[in-house]
Amino acid sequence: MEELVNKLCVRLKEKVRLLERFGSITEQMKAALQARRVERVTVYVNERRSVIDRIEQIDREVAAFTKREDIAIERLSCQAKDRLSRCLNEIQGCLKSLAGLDTECMALAGATHQVMKTAALTVRRSLRAAHGYRPSGQVPPRFLDVKR
C-alpha cells in the first residue's frame, strides 16, 4: 500500500510543479497585459492551455489509478495519510495563490478589451464619416483630357 501512495504522491508533486509553472506564465501574462502587449498575451494563453492540458491528464491518471488500485483512506498507515495530506495541502495552497493572480489578469484583460473596443469603434466611425462624403450611386465624372 505504501508503494501505491508513493506513486500517487509522485504524480501529485508533478501537478504542483505544473501549477507553479502555470503561476509563472500567469505573472508574465499579467505583465504583458499591463504593458498592453496583446500579441504576447496570446502566446501566454496558449502556454497556459498546454499546462492545463497536462494537469488534466495527471488528474485523469490519478483518478484511474485510485479506482483501479482501490485505495481506501481507512486502510492507509498514519505515515501514508500524512504524506498524502501534505501533497494535497500543497496543491490547495497553489490553487489559492493562483486564484487571486488569475482574477487580477481577468480584470486587466477586461480593461484592455474595453480600450481596444473603443479604438475599433473610433476607426469604424471615422470610416463611416469619410464614406458619407462620397456620392452614392453616381458614376465618377469623365473628363475629356483623360485617355480612355
Cell numbers 478589451: residue: 113
Tell me: the pLDDT tens digits for 78-87?
A: 887 888 889 8
pTM (whole model) above 0.75 = no
Q: Domain coordinates of the chain in residue numbers?
A: 2-131
3-state helix vs strand vs coil in the chain, percent to 5: 85, 0, 15
d(CA 134, CA 126): 13
CB atoms within 10 A of CB 88: 13
Residue pair 77/2 in contact (Cβ under 8 Å)? The answer is yes
Radius of gyration, CA atoms only, the chain: 28
Tell me: the pLDDT tens digits for 11-39?
A: 999 999 999 999 999 999 999 888 888 88
